[in-house]
């Protein structure tokens, strides 16, 4: 049997931040995520539900060239209850975050909201409807 077929969960996601300070402020102050662990200036992990979302700088483990500014590299989707999608949009606006796509019901059965973090990564807050 292929041992890779036993993988059942993504435990953590790592974002290689272009601007670590701005990204940490965004995920802590805007998103309100609590720091799970920190390994100095180059690594911070946040508890998001049962998963960890980590920020790191290039050069800590890997030193590939950064994705060019303006180039889409990832999307993170965060699930909430249906009534909370619109509440999240309002909370983001109050913190000065530009909404890319306002809350809307999608034909695939989600209510979605899209915005970006300081590095330009697309973030989605959604609910099953």
Residues in the chain: 129
Question: How confident is the model over 9-26, as a mean pLDDT?
Answer: 94
Q: What is the pLDDT of residues 45-96, one digit of tens each?
A: 999 999 999 999 988 888 898 888 878 889 999 999 999 999 999 999 999 9
State the Cα–Cα distance between residues 63 and 61, nearest whole angstrom.
Answer: 7
Helix (H) or strand (E) run with residue 92 in it:
helix 84-94
Q: What is the pTM of this model?
A: 0.90
Contacts of residue 66, defined as CB under 8 A and 6 or more positions apart, other chains included, come to: 16, 18, 58
What structural domains and CATH numbers belong to the chain? Answer: 1-62 (3.10.180.10), 72-129 (3.10.180.10)
Q: What is the pLDDT of residues 89-121, one digit of tens each?
A: 999 999 999 999 999 999 999 999 999 999 999
């Amino acid at each position: 049997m292929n041992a890779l077929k036993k993988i059942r969960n993504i435990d953590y996601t790592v974002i290689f931040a272009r601007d670590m300070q701005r990204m940490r402020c965004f995920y802590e102050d805007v998103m309100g995520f609590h720091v799970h662990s920190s390994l100095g200036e180059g690594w911070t992990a946040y508890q998001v539900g049962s998963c960890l979302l980590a920020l790191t700088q290039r050069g800590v483990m890997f030193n590939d060239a950064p994705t060019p500014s303006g180039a889409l590299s990832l999307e993170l989707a965060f699930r909430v209850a249906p009534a909370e999608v619109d509440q999240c949009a309002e909370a983001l606006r109050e913190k000065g975050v530009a909404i890319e796509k306002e809350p809307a019901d999608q034909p695939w059965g989600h209510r979605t909201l899209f915005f970006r973090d300081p590095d330009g990564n697309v973030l989605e807050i959604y609910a099953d409807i």
